[in-house]
Amino acid sequence: MSSALDRLLVSASHARPGLAIHTEIALREAHAGDESGLAPITPGAVIVARDADDVSAVLSLATRERVSVTPRAGATGKAGGAIPDADGIALVLTGLDRELEIDAGDRIAVAGAGVVLAKLREAARAQHLFYGPDPSSLESATIGGNVATNASGPSSLKHGSTARWVRGLEVVTGAGTHLAMPSRVSKSTVGLDLAQLLVGSEGMLGVVTRVFVRLEPAPERVALASVSLSSLESIGPALVAIDRAHVAPRAIELLDDEALSTLRAARTDHALDPRAVAILFVELEGSEHGVDDDLSRLDDALSPIAIDVRLARNETEREALWKIRRDTSVALKKSAKHKLSEDVVVPRSKVGALIATARRLGVEHGVRMPSYGHAGDGNLHVNFLWEDDAQRPDVDRAMAALFREVIALGGTISGEHGIGRAKAAYLPLAHDPARLAMQREVKRLFDPAGILNPGKVLG
């Protein structure tokens, strides 16, 4: 352990009696990795915060001693953002989960940053209210982690990502300063919106300790249709037809041909249309009658293009269709020794071009590259599957080529997982030097000693 870290731990234990500071190897190792597939790094110490004052004490001491701090919550991140430094601290925020208020009158939820998303959504539902963002990790990810990564899910097509739901935040800056930006109002034009600046900042600027999000009335009904397509070329026309039907789906998810054939090979008893080369799942919400009307418009619009449009007639069938979508990632993972999944995003009209690009790059670099995901948002999980360890350089070349092509299509390199450690080297592809310099200036204001998540995002 470095002497700076040693001094910090002694000072922290005096400043905050009872603070849980762990230096045992087993606990440090348990806080070394996340879901990115990157190699874990065992931190010098693990500190479990109880409240914002603990966070502030740790960050101000870390600034004084120049020790790196990695905020960490559900550790479900896919970009390596929660992987700590060897001489640094993993600052665990899951203990900030005691506060969860649903204010039905003002349609606001106020939650400690460590509250697990599923718990927040459930508490809202119990009062007939609805919180939009629905990342698949919602049973483990925290609302603070969601804010830090600007998380989203299938329904972001209609409801947007976390940024659209955040009303206010309480944050501790890298220097340890409390920054309270609470808000229960739906509109504000009062100075710069620093809370929104923090959304998606991946723990680089400050630690989120308390979150204010808006809620909406829960929809009366949700319905799902699966749309079987006979070719990849019909994906684009199908998306256009959905738009022209004047329905506003809350989700349009896609499985391409390689993803489908992997699912079929996995023999998971899915009722997948054997003729389908690609499948779209289209989810609608609204009133009982409104959804019926939208479903028949959808059917009319897609009938000339699709082989089949099948409606889930009840909750069990809807869940069975979603299970196919959820099983895709698992089936792909099982089908190869190695799997990496990117989350690139292109303008919606370029989804077909993105799939064709992935297919071409897969052939050029000798890597299987199936795609699936949020087609309505143009946000696809392009996967890299390979068997031989020696192929990794080919995978890296294919990935860099994919990022360049995505930017040429008018898109960008991450739609939901963020940059973290995994994609920090690629950030200059997405931002020009002037924008990068401005972001580094902002980081210096919030975190003058550069102790928060060094080496991630901005490098």
Ligand X SMILES: Cc1cc2nc3c(=O)[nH]c(=O)nc-3n(C[C@H](O)[C@H](O)[C@H](O)COP(=O)(O)OP(=O)(O)OC[C@H]3O[C@@H](n4cnc5c(N)ncnc54)[C@H](O)[C@@H]3O)c2cc1C
Tokens at 288, concatenated: 């009982």
- Which residues 6+ apart lie within 8 Å of 304 measured at CB? 241
Least separation, in Å, of the C-beta of 178 and ligand X? 14
Contact call for residue 54 and ligand X (CB under 6 A): no
- Which residues 6+ apart lie within 8 Å of 438 measured at CB? none
**DSSP letter string, 389-424:** GGGHHHHHHHHHHHHHHHHHTT-BSBSSS--TTTTG
Interface residue with ligand X, options 33, 88, 132, 153 (CB under 6 A) = 153
Number of residues that bind ligand X (CB under 6 A): 36
Least separation, in Å, of the C-beta of 35 and ligand X? 4
Binding segment for ligand X (CB under 6 A), chosen from 151-159, 220-228, 288-296, 304-312, is 151-159
Binding segment for ligand X (CB under 6 A), chosen from 14-22, 65-73, 220-228, 230-238, is 65-73
Interface residue with ligand X, options 5, 52, 148, 305 (CB under 6 A) = 148
Closest to ligand X by CB, 141 vs 291, is 141
Contact call for residue 262 and ligand X (CB under 6 A): no
Closest to ligand X by CB, 263 vs 276, is 263
Binding segment for ligand X (CB under 6 A), chosen from 15-23, 149-157, 238-246, 293-301, is 149-157
From residue 194 to residue 233, what is the string marking binding to ligand X with x (rule CB under 6 A)?
A: --------xx---xx-------------------------
Q: Under rule CB under 6 A, which residues in 388-417 are in contact with ligand X? A: 416-417
Alpha carbon distance 264, 346 (integer Å): 28
Contact call for residue 152 and ligand X (CB under 6 A): yes
- The phi-psi region of residue 320 (left if phi > 0; otherwise alpha if psi is between -120 and 50; otherwise beta) is alpha
Residue positions counted in the chain: 459
Contact call for residue 82 and ligand X (CB under 6 A): yes
Binding segment for ligand X (CB under 6 A), chosen from 67-75, 223-231, 314-322, 406-414, is 67-75
Tokens at 111, concatenated: 């939650």
Alpha carbon distance 104, 386 (integer Å): 50
Residue 374 near residue 253 (C-beta atoms within 8 A): yes
Tokens at 271, concatenated: 């009722």
Q: Are strands 69-72 and 89-92 parallel, antiparallel or unpaired?
A: parallel
Check the CA dihedral 307-313-316-319 and report its sign. positive
- The torsion angles phi and psi of 186, rounded to 5 degrees, stand at -90, -10
Binding segment for ligand X (CB under 6 A), chosen from 132-140, 216-224, 226-234, 436-444, is 132-140
In Å, the largest CA–CA distance within the chain is 72
Residue 127 near residue 87 (C-beta atoms within 8 A): no
Interface residue with ligand X, options 56, 60, 63, 137 (CB under 6 A) = 137
Contact call for residue 155 and ligand X (CB under 6 A): no
Least separation, in Å, of the C-beta of 48 and ligand X? 13
Binding segment for ligand X (CB under 6 A), chosen from 98-106, 135-143, 243-251, 317-325, is 135-143
Among 364, 356, 370, residue whose Cα is nearest residue 400 = 364
Closest to ligand X by CB, 53 vs 292, is 53
Closest to ligand X by CB, 207 vs 355, is 207
- The torsion angles phi and psi of 207, rounded to 5 degrees, stand at -105, 125
Closest to ligand X by CB, 254 vs 298, is 254
Contact call for residue 373 and ligand X (CB under 6 A): no
Binding segment for ligand X (CB under 6 A), chosen from 70-78, 100-108, 360-368, 428-436, is 70-78
Least separation, in Å, of the C-beta of 384 and ligand X? 17
Question: Which helix (H) or strand (E) covers residue 228, if one does?
Answer: strand 221-229
Least separation, in Å, of the C-beta of 438 and ligand X? 21
Contact call for residue 420 and ligand X (CB under 6 A): yes
Q: Enumerate the β-bridge partners of residue 254.
A: 280, 373
Q: Under rule CB under 6 A, which residues in 102-131 are in contact with ligand X? A: 113
Interface residue with ligand X, options 16, 22, 28, 78 (CB under 6 A) = 78
- The phi-psi region of residue 147 (left if phi > 0; otherwise alpha if psi is between -120 and 50; otherwise beta) is alpha
Q: Reduced to 3 states, what is the DSSP secondary structure of residue 52?
A: helix
Report which DSSP code applies to 23.
-
Q: Are strands 278-286 and 308-311 parallel, antiparallel or unpaired?
A: unpaired
Which residues contact ligand X by CB under 6 A? 34-35, 70-78, 81-82, 93, 113, 135-137, 141-142, 144-146, 148-149, 151-153, 202-203, 207-208, 416-417, 420, 453
